[in-house]
C-alpha cells in the first residue's frame, strides 16, 4: 500500500456523567483521531491518550506533536517497507523512536484499517477472532457515597452487563466492595481496579478483599513495581492482574516469569497497537494466563476494534467493552450496543464502522492535514 497522508483530527466528547478514578475525574474526552489516506481509500485510528499525563506519560498534545514531527516523517521516509509489508511494517519502521506507544498504536490502527477496507477484510478476521460476539463488562468509577454507587451498579446489571469492575483507592475499597456484594450477591462477577493507588505496605489491607471472591485486583501498585506485584501475589488470594505495567510482549514475558500476575489486561493503545496486543495474547495463552480487553473510554472506532480483539480465543474474561451510551450520549459512529450482555463483533471491511460526517464535524475542535 501507499500512504498519501494522514489527517489529525481533535474532537471533544462530553461524557454522560463524570468518571472518577484514583487519577482524577473526567467530564469530557479530548480525543485525537487519525484518518490515513491511500490511493485505494482511507482508514481510521484512535489515540487513547488522555488530556493529561496521568494514566501514562503520554497525553493528547504530545501524541499530536510526536506524530507530526517524528512518526509520520519516519513512515513517509520508508515507502518501500509499507508497500511490501503493509501495516505490519509500521511498528518496525517506528521502532528507533523510543516510547510513544499510544501515538504509534493510533497510526498503525489507521494504516491497518485502510489496508483492510481496501481488501474487503474485517478487523476481526485479521486479528484471529473466533467468536461473533463478546461478553460486555462495565467499569464503574468512584462516587461520593456508597448509596450512589449501589444505584449505578444496579442500573448496569439491569442493562445486562455481565461483569462489574469497581475503581478503588485508599479510603474507597472495602466498604464499597462489601456493599455491592451484600446488595447484589456472590453470583455477580466482580473485580476491582486500583490504577496504581497502593504500595506493598498495603498488602495486609488488600488481603481483606479476599473474602469477597473477586475475579481479580487490577494494578494495585505502581507500574514499575513488578517485583512488588510478585510479592503481593504471594500474600493475597485474589488474583493479581497487571495493566499499566504491561507495555509490550517483552514486559509481559518478564512479569509472567517473575510471578507478578496471573491475569493480564490488554489495552492495545498502551502496548503499541493491536498487532502487539495479539502477540501478548498468544504469549499469555502459551503460559496458561487469562487475558481480557481493557477500555480507555474509546469512541465507536476504538470500541469496535476492541470487540474484535476480545473475540480471540484467549480472552476468557469479560472485557471493558461497554455500549456506546456508557460514556457518550452521541457517538461519532453508529452506536454500538449490547444484547443479553454481549456486543456483536463488527464484520464489515476494516473496523466495520465509520464516523458519521455530520456528527464528527459537530464535535471536531481542529483538523490538520499532513501529507507524506
From the list 98, 104, 165, 267, the catalytic residue is 267
Taking phi over 0 as left and psi of -120 to 50 as alpha, with beta for the rest, 45 belongs to beta
- For residues 337 and 300, the answer to whether their CB atoms sit within 8 Å is no
Cα torsion angle, 273, 263, 344, 278, sign = positive
Q: Is 267 a catalytic residue?
A: yes
Annotated catalytic, 98? no
- 5 in Cβ contact with 73 (< 8 Å): no
Catalytic residue among 98, 104, 165, 167: 167
Place of cell 484467549: 314
Cα 299-315-328 angle, rounded to 5 deg: 15
Measure the CA–CA gap between 177 and 188, rounded to whole angstroms: 12
Tell me if 141 sits within 8 A of 20, measured CB to CB: yes
Q: Which of 135, 147, 139, 197 is nearest to 165 (CA)?
A: 139
Q: How many helices (H) and strands (E) in the chain?
A: 15, 13
Q: Beta-strand (E) ranges in the chain?
A: 5-21, 24-38, 41-47, 133-135, 137-140, 163-167, 190-193, 217-218, 240-242, 263-266, 290-293, 342-344, 364-371
Show the CA angle centred on residue 274, arms to residues 364 and 79, nearest 5°: 80
DSSP state of 345: P
CA 296 to CA 224: how far, in whole Å?
20
For residue 74, how many other CB atoms are within 10 A of its CB?
16
Query: Which sequence positions are flagged as catalytic?
Result: 167, 267
Amino acid at each position: 500500500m501507499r500512504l498519501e497522508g494522514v489527517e489529525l483530527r481533535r474532537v471533544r466528547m462530553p461524557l454522560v456523567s463524570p468518571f472518577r478514578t484514583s487519577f482524577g475525574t473526567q467530564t469530557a474526552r479530548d480525543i485525537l483521531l487519525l484518518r490515513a489516506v491511500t490511493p485505494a481509500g482511507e482508514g481510521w485510528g484512535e489515540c487513547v491518550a488522555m488530556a493529561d499525563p496521568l494514566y501514562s506519560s503520554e497525553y493528547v498534545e504530545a501524541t499530536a506533536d510526536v506524530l507530526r514531527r517524528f512518526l509520520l516523517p519516519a513512515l513517509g521516509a520508508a515507502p518501500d517497507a509499507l508497500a511490501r509489508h503493509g501495516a505490519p511494517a509500521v511498528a518496525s519502521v517506528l521502532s528507533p523512536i523510543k516510547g510513544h506507544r499510544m501515538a504509534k498504536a493510533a497510526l498503525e490502527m489507521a494504516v491497518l484499517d485502510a489496508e483492510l477496507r481496501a481488501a474487503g477484510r474485517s478487523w476481526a478476521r485479521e486479528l484471529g477472532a473466533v467468536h461473533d460476539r463478546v461478553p460486555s463488562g462495565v467499569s464503574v468509577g468512584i462516587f461520593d457515597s456508597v448509596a450512589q454507587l449501589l444505584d449505578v451498579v444496579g442500573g448496569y446489571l439491569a442493562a445486562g452487563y455481565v461483569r462489574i469492575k469497581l475503581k478503588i483507592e485508599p479510603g474507597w475499597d472495602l466498604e464499597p466492595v462489601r456493599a455491592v456484594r451484600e446488595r447484589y450477591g456472590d453470583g455477580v462477577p466482580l473485580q476491582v481496579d486500583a490504577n496504581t493507588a497502593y504500595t506493598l505496605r498495603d498488602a495486609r489491607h488488600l488481603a481483606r478483599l479476599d473474602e469477597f471472591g473477586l475475579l481479580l485486583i487490577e494494578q494495585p501498585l505502581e507500574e514499575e513495581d513488578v517485583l512488588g506485584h510478585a510479592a503481593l501475589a504471594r500474600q493475597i488470594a485474589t488474583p493479581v492482574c497487571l495493566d499499566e505495567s504491561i507495555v509490550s510482549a517483552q514486559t509481559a514475558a518478564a512479569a509472567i516469569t517473575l510471578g507478578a500476575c496471573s491475569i493480564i489486561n490488554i489495552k492495545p493503545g498502551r502496548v503499541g497497537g493491536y498487532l502487539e496486543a495479539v502477540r501478548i495474547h498468544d504469549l499469555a495463552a502459551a503460559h496458561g494466563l487469562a487475558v481480557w480487553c481493557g477500555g480507555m473510554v474509546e469512541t465507536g472506532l476504538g470500541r469496535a476494534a476492541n470487540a474484535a480483539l476480545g473475540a480471540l480465543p484467549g480472552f476468557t474474561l469479560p472485557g471493558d467493552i461497554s455500549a456506546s451510551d456508557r460514556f457518550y450520549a452521541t457517538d461519532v459512529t453508529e452506536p454500538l450496543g449490547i444484547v443479553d450482555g454481549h456486543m456483536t463483533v463488527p464484520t464489515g471491511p476494516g473496523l466495520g464502522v465509520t464516523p458519521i460526517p455530520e456528527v464528527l464535524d459537530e464535535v471536531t475542535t481542529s483538523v490538520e492535514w499532513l501529507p507524506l
